[in-house]
């Protein structure tokens, strides 16, 4: 394992290890994170190699994770927040405000994007938060890029007085490469309370007069954005791990002598650098994951090819996609990538066959009412053969969703999702006098993301909702399942016939995480 500059300079390491080494070299004092693919990979490594120089905390909510980091920042401690891409939505509230508010010591957000949606409810592209929140975004391509981006991000965060985002993917985290360390002195930046002499509008004006020009200069001059010149008039613009794939394709003699602009800092958008590159090329192919972020900034009729022209598929990019696009660059529009993935074509992902909550899903399939599920294990009961869940919008959304049904319905939510944000929906349901049956699956772990401990909110819920029923779920067997299913059908039907909010706690042991 790499810990110091002498070792790091002599070895190939993964992108994960590069981020660990950079966090140590940057003097990070606090790390917060919320479980979720691929962010869990980063958190697990930081926890595994934790020392007395920094503290690491699993959090149940991304908003709270960033707020804790901001608290460290204003008292002079550098902080890192690690979340998956959908977690960026949850922390966006304090993120937006922090830019105007200003911070103290550097705050860096590691946003783990799941290109291909291997373990996520969408394929969201975190680079767009650069434009939305007006913050810098790095999109490294290699372990060296990840290390350099993290080191620079803390300094830039302190200079601009706002958080900085580093977007990573699973392939970057698992890739290997040599890394040259560049340890810097840790800043003692502190929060300047003089900001409170300004109005909210004045804070925004200050940002655009002082901070944004600094960020714009950074993105136009950073050595992280690299140009490889070519002679055949074809140019490729890429960012993130896709840049590594481009380099591999261009290393093959059959790919021609293309120019390549590899962006590892993408926000603020480097308009001058990109425009100059495009002006030197007759045709330009844009290679990026997951959405056309770069392409949407530079669309030029006929000259630019990429996702928006069908040359590159949305989502994850492979080397064969790049080769095919180069071979068909003369065509204005391609119709190659028109397949829509189905569960059948991908392959089903079932619940664990010995899940103690299996009788619940079988009972829900027998009851003719709408059922709101939640992100987590329960979502796997939506497709055939169970077809027990009707909706699944976001982590913690089941209760509020069910409260919106035309008739009284059922919400199924795990205890981690309840602590994450679902409890807000329950508070509103009780306050508004909604009609809903809430089934809470308590196994005390975030089962889908690595078994992180979930808070026990049962004492709170029992006080909040008088009609709370607690059932201990036995270890699953086919014989017992039928009897338990019948019991749950009767219980659910009786609760649906009542007025108001009812809670059913099903307490079981996750056989995947607790062997």
One of 1.10.540.10, 3.50.50.60, 3.40.50.920, 4.10.520.10 is the CATH number of 226-327, namely 3.40.50.920
Q: Is the pLDDT of residue 302 over 50?
A: yes
Note whether 22 and 4 are within 8 A (CB): no
Helix, strand, coil share of the chain (percent; to 5): 45, 20, 40
Q: Residue 73's pLDDT is what?
A: 97
pLDDT at 449 over 80: no
List all residues 6 or more positions away from 466 whose beta carbon is below 8 Å from its beta carbon. none
Fold equal for 226-327 and 358-507 = yes
**Is 330 in a helix, a strand, or coil?**
coil
**What are the strands of the beta sheet with 265-267, ordered from one edge?**
55-58, 30-33, 79-84, 107-113, 164-169, 137-138, 265-267
Give me the pLDDT at residue 254, please.
64
Q: Looking at residue 6, what is its pLDDT?
A: 46
Q: Which residues are registered as beta bridge partners of 284? A: 235, 304
Strand, coil or helix: 426? helix
Q: Does 7 have pLDDT greater than 60?
A: no
Tally the residues of the chain. Answer: 515
Domain residue extents for the chain: 5-221, 226-327, 358-507
CB atoms within 10 A of CB 515: 6
2 has pLDDT over 50 = no
Domain 5-221: which CATH number of 3.40.50.970, 3.40.50.740, 3.40.190.170, 3.60.20.10: 3.40.50.970
Q: Is 9 a residue whose pLDDT tops 70?
A: no
174 neighbors 118 (Cβ within 8 angstroms): no
226, pLDDT greater than 70? yes
Q: Determine if the peptide bond prior to 268 is cis (ω within 30°).
A: yes
Contacts of 55 (CB under 8 A, 6+ apart): 29, 30, 31
Q: What is the mean pLDDT of residues 163-170?
A: 97
pLDDT tens digits, one per residue of 181-212: 987 777 778 899 999 999 999 999 999 999 99
Residue 251, C-beta contacts closer than 8 angstroms, at least 6 positions apart: none
Mean pLDDT of the chain: 92
CB contact set of 494 (below 8 Å; sequence gap of 6+): none
- The answer, yes or no, to whether residue 10 has pLDDT greater than 80, is no
Q: Flag whether pLDDT at 175 surpasses 70.
A: yes
Q: 291: which 2 tokens?
A: 């959405």
Question: Which architecture does CATH list for 358-507?
Answer: 3-Layer(aba) Sandwich (3.40)
Residue with the larger pLDDT of the pair 22 and 450: 22
Residue 120 has pLDDT above 90, yes or no: no
Instruction: Quote the pLDDT of residue 24.
Output: 94
Q: Residue written as tokens 């772990």?
A: 445
Per-residue pLDDT, 186: 77
């Amino acid at each position: 394992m790499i810990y110091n500059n002498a070792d790091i300079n002599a070895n190939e390491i993964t992108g994960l290890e590069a981020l660990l080494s950079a966090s140590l070299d940057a003097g990070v004092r606090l790390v917060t994170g919320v479980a979720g693919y691929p962010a869990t990979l980063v958190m697990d490594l930081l926890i595994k190699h934790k020392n007395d120089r920094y503290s690491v905390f699993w959090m149940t909510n991304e908003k709270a994770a960033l707020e804790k980091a901001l608290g460290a920042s204003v008292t002079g401690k550098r902080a890192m927040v690690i979340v998956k891409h959908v977690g960026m939505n949850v922390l966006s509230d304090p993120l937006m405000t922090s830019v105007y508010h200003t911070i103290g010591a550097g705050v860096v957000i590691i946003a783990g994007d799941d290109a291909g949606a291997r373990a996520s409810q969408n394929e969201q592209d975190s680079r767009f938060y650069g434009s939305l929140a007006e913050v810098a975004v790095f999109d490294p391509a290699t372990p060296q890029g990840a290390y350099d981006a993290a080191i620079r991000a803390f300094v830039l965060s302190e200079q601009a007085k706002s958080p900085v985002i580093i977007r990573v993917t699973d392939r970057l985290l698992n890739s290997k490469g040599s890394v040259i360390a560049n340890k810097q002195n840790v800043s003692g930046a502190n929060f300047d309370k003089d900001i409170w002499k300004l109005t909210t509008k004045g804070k925004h004006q200050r940002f655009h007069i002082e901070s944004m020009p600094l960020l714009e200069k950074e993105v136009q001059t950073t050595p992280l954005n690299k140009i490889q010149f070519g002679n055949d008039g074809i140019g490729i613009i890429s960012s993130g791990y896709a840049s590594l794939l481009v380099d591999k394709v261009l290393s093959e003699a059959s790919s021609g002598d293309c120019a390549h602009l590899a962006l590892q800092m993408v926000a603020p958008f480097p308009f001058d650098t990109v425009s100059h590159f495009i002006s030197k090329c007759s045709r330009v192919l844009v290679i990026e994951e997951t959405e056309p972020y770069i392409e949407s900034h530079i669309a030029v009729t006929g000259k630019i090819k990429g996702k928006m022209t069908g040359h590159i598929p949305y989502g994850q990019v492979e080397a064969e996609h790049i080769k095919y696009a180069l071979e068909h660059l003369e065509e204005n529009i391609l119709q190659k990538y028109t397949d829509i993935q189905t569960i059948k074509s991908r392959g089903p992902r079932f619940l664990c066959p010995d899940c103690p909550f299996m009788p619940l899903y079988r009972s829900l399939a027998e009851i003719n009412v709408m059922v709101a599920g939640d992100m987590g294990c329960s979502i796997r009961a939506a497709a055939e053969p169970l077809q027990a869940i009707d909706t699944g919008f976001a982590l913690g959304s089941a209760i509020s969703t069910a409260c919106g049904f035309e008739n009284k319905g059922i919400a199924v939510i795990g205890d981690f999702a309840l602590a994450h944000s679902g409890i807000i929906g329950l508070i509103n349901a009780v306050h508004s006098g909604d009609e809903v049956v809430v089934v809470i699956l308590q196994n005390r772990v975030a089962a889908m993301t690595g078994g992180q401990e979930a808070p026990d909110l049962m004492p709170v819920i029992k006080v909040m909702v008088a009609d709370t029923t607690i059932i201990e779920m036995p270890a699953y067997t086919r014989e017992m399942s039928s009897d338990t299913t019948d019991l749950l059908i009767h219980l659910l039907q009786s609760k649906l016939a009542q007025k108001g909010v009812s809670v059913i706690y099903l307490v079981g042991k996750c056989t995947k995480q607790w062997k």
